[in-house]
Copies of this chain bind each other. A is one copy, B any other.
Amino acid sequence: MGVVLPLQDRPSDPEASLDALVGLVAGGMERVNAMILSRTGSDVTMIPEVANHLISSGGKRLRPILTLATASLAGYDLAKGREADGDVKLAASVEFMHTATLLHDDVVDESDMRRGKVAARIKWGNEASVLVGDFLLGQAFKMMVEVGSLRALDILSSAASVIAEGEVMQLTAARSTETTEDEYLAVIRAKTAELFAAACEVGPVIAERPKAEIAACRSYGMNLGIAFQLVDDALDYGGTSADLGKNVGDDFREGKITLPVVLSFRRGSDEERAFWRRTLERQEIEEPRDLDAAIAIMRRHRALEDTIERARHYGAMAKDALALFPASPMKQALLEAVDFCIARAR
């Protein structure tokens, strides 16, 4: 018998990219993209038009990538054979759920831009955004049913409820500048991280892996999702329009309370608190002066840096969650994906 040398997980790379992960799932993603294309088809021509406007506008497809990656990490291909397409169908379902959420969010937020393009609701009206979103949700569930795993269905249908709950929370309880960090975390767990968690959990579920591996993948997704959203929140006050594919200051204009605001408000002077109340709660905003002032206050209190710091904390938890898997190129790529999500903030 030879000596088995365990591969060491390399330390996290500050220049991390998604390339390794994207490369490892490239074959599966081709099948996912074909599935997406075929399932947005409808004789009602507006449906593929609206759906493809958003789907083809070049999101990174991080969520379906995660479903394929965790299924592969859990040995789905080995267990079920190369022809099995449960992972592909669930990945496409996850992307449809995400797209439906984006379409409905645009109506809720009254957004004008999405992924660097004019929002669907501006081009086709609120009606089309609501209804095409509903169509995609229906198609997502149909695909899940085809996979035939009641457990995966339970995970993804629960996620659908939790996401909507999180969005309502953001509309109501989380509209106040008094929102605490914990309350804010509850919102982003529900509205963003839950879908990451579900996308990662269904992989080992359809590979019929033990409970501990399923919980590990769910935890990886949940913590990655939180880190991802926190970085997004910071970018909304620090990036440039071209990088973001949306307008900088969108959250500010929409009166969204995100972690940079929560931290700035708690750490600020009475005068600064009055500023946040006027701009975010009463929506009395003078541009560009007020956005510049908001960013200046955040810099003064290191609110953006500390938001990224928090993201690093959740990123570390995401990586630790995968510890029970043996070293492999896929594991390594999933660890790098965490670094990539955080490095976006630089």
Contacts and interface: CB of A to CB of B under 8 A. Distances in A.
A59 interface: no
A44 B154 CA distance: 21
A269 interface: no
Contacts of A108: 126-127, 130-131
A141 interface: yes
A130 B107 contact: yes
Nearest to A100: B134
A137 B144 CA distance: 15
A223 to B, nearest CB: 22
Interface residues of A, number: 44
A38 interface: no
A337 interface: no
Contacts of A169: 44
Given A148-B150, A160-B138, A168 B107 contact: no
A44 B157 contact: no
A128 B172 CA distance: 10
A153 B157 CA distance: 12
A164 interface: yes
Given A127-B171, A171-B46, A154 B145 contact: yes
B145 A131 contact: no
Interface string A178-206: 00000000000000000000000000000
Given A126-B126, A142-B157, A145-B150, A132 B44 contact: no
Interface of A: 42, 44-47, 104, 107-108, 125-128, 130-132, 134-135, 137-139, 141-142, 144-146, 148, 150, 153-154, 157-165, 167-169, 171-173
Nearest first, the 6 closest Cβ-Cβ pairs linking A and B are A138-B161, A138-B160, A141-B157, A135-B164, A134-B164, A108-B127
17 contacts: A46-B171, A47-B168, A104-B134, A108-B126, A108-B127, A108-B130, A108-B131, A125-B171, A126-B126, A130-B130, A131-B164, A137-B160, A138-B159, A138-B162, A139-B161, A145-B150, A145-B154
